[in-house]
Amino acid sequence: MVKIAVIDYDMGNLHSVCKALERVGAQPWVTDQGTDLIQAQGVVLPGVGAFDPAMANLTSRGLVEPIRQVTAQGKPFLGICLGLQLLFEGSEEGQSPGLGILRGHVRRFPQEAGLAIPHMGWNQLEVLPDQGPLWRNLPAAPWVYFVHSYYVEPQDPGVRSALVKYGQHLVTAAVSQGPLSAVQFHPEKSSRVGLQILANFVSHIPQVCPKPCA
C-alpha cells in the first residue's frame, strides 16, 4: 500500500483528503514533520485559507525546505487548492514570498458585474493535450468542485495541465512539472472524477521508498 504524507500546517481539510486517499487505496498519514516528507512515497499539500498565514505556518514548522527538497528530488507531489498557490513565488492576497518551486504569481479575480467572488461550485475543466497520468480515464470536460478567489498565473504556460473558464476569464486550473502536480479545485469534493484523479496520482507512485518508510 502506498504511504502518502499529508502535510499538516493548520490550513487544510485534512480529514476529507485522507478519507478520499484511503478510498483509492493509499495509506495517508498526517504529519507536520519534515523528516516524514523525506521518508514518504508521495506527498500531498492540501490547503484552505489565506496565503500569508499558510506560509507563516509552513515556516514556523520547518516545512519550507523539506517541501522544496522533496519536489527537487522528484518525489510524487500533489498540491490542492491553496496548496497549488503556495508553490508559486507570491500572491496578490498578501506580502509573503511563496515556496518559489514554480515561477509565477497568484492573481485575484477582478471585480466584474455578474461575476461572484469566490468562484464556488462545480465547473468544467479543459484538460490540455498530452498531459500526464493524473488525467487518465476521465470523461471529456470533467466537472470538478472549486472554491477560490485567486488563481495562479505561471510564468511558463507550459506547466499548465488544465484550464477553467469563469466569467470571461480562462485561468489555470492545474499544473504539472514532472512528478509534481497541483490542482486549484478540490478532488476530495469532486465525486467520481476527483477520486479518479487521486487514484491516478496514487497508482503512479513507485512502490519503493527512497528511504525506509516510517
Go through the domains of the chain in sequence order and give each one's CATH number.
3-203 (3.40.50.880)
CB neighbour burial string for 163-190, b if at least 16 within 10 angstroms, e if fewer:
bbebeeeebbbbbbbebbbbbbbbbbbb
Question: Model pTM greater than 0.85?
Answer: yes
For residue 210, pLDDT over 70 is answered with no
Known catalytic residue at 186: yes
pLDDT tens-place string over residues 94-136: 999 999 999 999 999 998 878 899 999 999 999 999 888 999 9
Number of H helices, E strands in the chain: 6, 12
- Out of 18, 119, 148, 188, the active site residue is 188
Per-residue pLDDT tens digits for 11-40: 978 999 999 999 999 999 999 999 999 999
Task: Give catalytic status of residue 209 as yes or no.
Answer: no
Given 18, 22, 81, 169, which residue is catalytic?
A: 81
Per annotation, catalytic residue among 18, 119, 148, 186: 186
Stretch 153-173: mean pLDDT, rounded? 96
Q: What is the pLDDT of residue 150?
A: 97
At 13 the pLDDT is 83
* Helical spans, DSSP H, in 61-115: 64-72, 82-85
Q: Residue 181 above 50 pLDDT?
A: yes
d(CA 96, CA 4): 28
pLDDT value at residue 207: 59
Tell me the mean pLDDT in the region 48-62.
97
Q: Which residue has the higher pLDDT, 172 or 212?
A: 172
Q: What is the mean pLDDT of the chain?
A: 94
Does the annotation count 81 as an active-site position?
A: yes
